[in-house]
Structures are given as structure tokens and as C-alpha cells.
Homo-oligomer: A and B are copies of this chain.
Amino acid sequence: MTSVKRVHNFNAGPSAMPLSVLEKAQAELLSFNGCGMSVMEMSHRSKEFEGIIKTAEADLRELMGIPANYKVMFLQGGASLHFAMEAMNFRPAGASADYIVTGAWSKAAIKEAAKLGTTNVVFNGEAEKFNRLPAAGELNFDPKAAYVHICHNETIHGVEFKSEPVLPAGVPLFCDMSSDFVSQPIDVTKYAMIYAGAQKNAGPAGVVIAIVRDDMLERVPANLPTMLDYKVMAEKESLYNTPPCWSIYMCGLVFQWLKELGGLEAMYKIDQQKAKMIYDVIDKSGGYYRGHAVPESRSIMNIPFRLASEELEDLFVKESKKADLIGLKGHRSVGGLRASLYNAVPLESVKALADFMVEFQKKNG
């Protein structure tokens, strides 16, 4: 274990990484596996790197139970680029795509898709400040939609799907899973596409993991810019051009860590326990802390909450920083406070935050 001083990291992304993963990366930074080069210095076509990317993929397939008829890709551009790419690749000319808009990130996704063609808003939670998921009865799907897009966990508004919406027969489900990827078991077969920016649960920024069912790739139109063409990326196994090697390597180390920890069932239990610690403080605060999301829609990853005034919120941020609790300021678009409790945030950190919240209320209640 390191003797370096580390803080309690509640950043929303990029965010905490497992200490043991960082230590491994540090130990082999000058020479990966005795090869005499850093991972940053090796050819992406070398045997060493092939081992890294293939192992990362195999471990992810095992963790998530990804069937053989899905491709797994490690790509660039951030989830934001894939908002545009999913529409370019998978919404045929003239067709429309359905979007369930539950927060800032599904709103950003439909914005990109609307630039390029027809979209349909199946649900929009904005009038209620994105504080809840839709009920099944509220969803008026287009039975001819090219796909339905959801954001599995809204990082800013803190609402998270507990199960997949039931779609009209034959309509594929697409999912931006950036902020709760590998936090819980998922039935991948319910999705035709899952993608996630790595920088929350899977690794550092700079890589997007895309999981695409084979039949979707038949939709890809001819003549897309090569780097925006999922079919080429799949055929070239993420190596059409130089991939973000270091970020992929780090994801691989995180997947190994998850396997050692017992996989996604085990991770999920811990994540639920961590989230409960903070929601309990909120719920027992007698309204002093006010969670943004309604209880049934609450995220186990991101907990946005408010205090009675902005002054009090500013004080909370200031005092929490002094206690080495970092990243608790809410997203600039909504204000308030937010605790992100990603996989790599240790129980001790969550305990420290819960204790701090209780103390803060006592002092400033």
C-alpha cells in the first residue's frame, strides 16, 4: 500500500480509480511486463498490445456476459461523439429514432441525432427537472422507430433505470451507459447497443467502450467517414487506426480488479451499500438535505442533493474540501451538491462523507 496521501474522491468523471490499479500501472510504467517499453511506447500492432486489448475484451465479456453475437470496441471521441454516431450508423435514411429524455445526457444525445435526421421524444422529464424515470404507461413508442435511446444513469440528475423499458416488438434498445457501466449485472441481450465513456467506472478519459449486436452493423450506410463507421471499427477490431492504448490498458486493469473482487454481482452489492449510506443520511436529515431524484428513480452512482440555501451549499463545499472530501460541488448546470460513488470509491470514503454530512448538519442545522 502506498504512503502517498490520497483524498476522498467524489468526482463525477473523470473520477476515482482503484488504488491497486494505479499502483500496478505505476509499477510497470517504464516497462510493461518486462518488455523494456511503457504501454505508451509500444506499437498498437505489437504482440504485447494485442495481449492487452484482447484480454481487456475477454475480461469485459466475462464480467458482463456479452454474447458472441455482439462486437466489443474500444473507440475515441467520448460518449458525445457516439451520440452522433449511433444516429449516423443505425438510423436508416428517412427513419425516425425514439428518445426517452430523462436528464441532461439523453437531452444531449437527442440534440445530436436531431441535427442529422428525425427524432421522436417518447418521454421528457424536463418540466419536472428530470427528477424521475417515466412509468411504463407514459411511454408512447413509435412502433417503426429505428431504435429507442435511453441513458441508463443520468450523471447530473441522478436518476437510474432499474430495468429496461419494454419496447414494441422488433425495436432495438440503445443505451448510453457511461456513468453506471460495470456497476451491476446487466442482461446484455436486452440491448442492441451499449456504449460508455470509460472515465466513470471503467478507466480514465479517452476511450469509449461500444458493444454492438452484429445485426445492427448491417444498417451502416456506405461511405461514412471511416472513423465514424462502426462496421469498419468492428471489422478492424478497434485497430483501424491508432487506438488510445494507455486508456485501454487502464480499462483492462480495472476489469481484472473487478474480476478479483467477485464480478458485477459483488460490485453491485458494495455499490448499493455505499449509496444507501448517503441516502440514509439524506432521508434522516428531516429535510436538511434534499435529494434531487424521487426515491424510486434514485441512482446508486450519482447523488445530487441540495441544502436550504446556496450559501450553505458553498460552505458545505468549502468545509468538505478541508476534510479532503473532493468533487462534491454539483454540476455547473444545476448547482447544489453531488456525490459520485463510482465503483472505485472505497467504503471508507463514503463513510467519511456520511459522517461529514451528519456533523455538518449538527453544526449548521
Contacts and interface: CB of A to CB of B under 8 A. Distances in A.
Interface string A79-104: 11101100010000000000000000
A362 interface: no
Given A80-B227, A227-B84, A242 B30 contact: no
Interface in A27-45: 29-31, 34-38, 40-45
Given A14-B242, A115-B223, A205-B244, A9 B31 contact: no
**A: contact size bracket:** 35 or more
Interface in A239-295: 240-247, 250
Given A31-B6, A242-B197, A40 B23 contact: no
Interface string A310-346: 0000000000000010110000100000000000000
A158 interface: no
A194 to B, nearest CB: 18
A133 interface: no
B29 A206 contact: no
A364 interface: no
Given A16-B41, A227-B78, A22 B30 contact: yes
Interface in A217-232: 223-228
Interface string A116-149: 1000000000000000000000000000000000
A273 B57 CA distance: 43
A44 B2 contact: no
A4 interface: yes
A258 to B, nearest CB: 17
A81 B42 CA distance: 22
Given A29-B22, A78-B227, A241-B80, A40 B7 contact: no
A22 to B, nearest CB: 6
A16 B40 CA distance: 8
Given A9-B36, A23-B30, A115-B225, 18 more contacts: A6-B37, A7-B35, A9-B41, A11-B42, A11-B46, A14-B245, A22-B38, A26-B30, A41-B204, A44-B205, A76-B77, A76-B81, A76-B206, A78-B227, A116-B225, A205-B246, A206-B243, A246-B247
The 10 A-B pairs of least Cβ separation, nearest first, read A206-B244, A7-B36, A84-B225, A40-B204, A81-B227, A80-B241, A26-B29, A78-B241, A76-B76, A206-B206
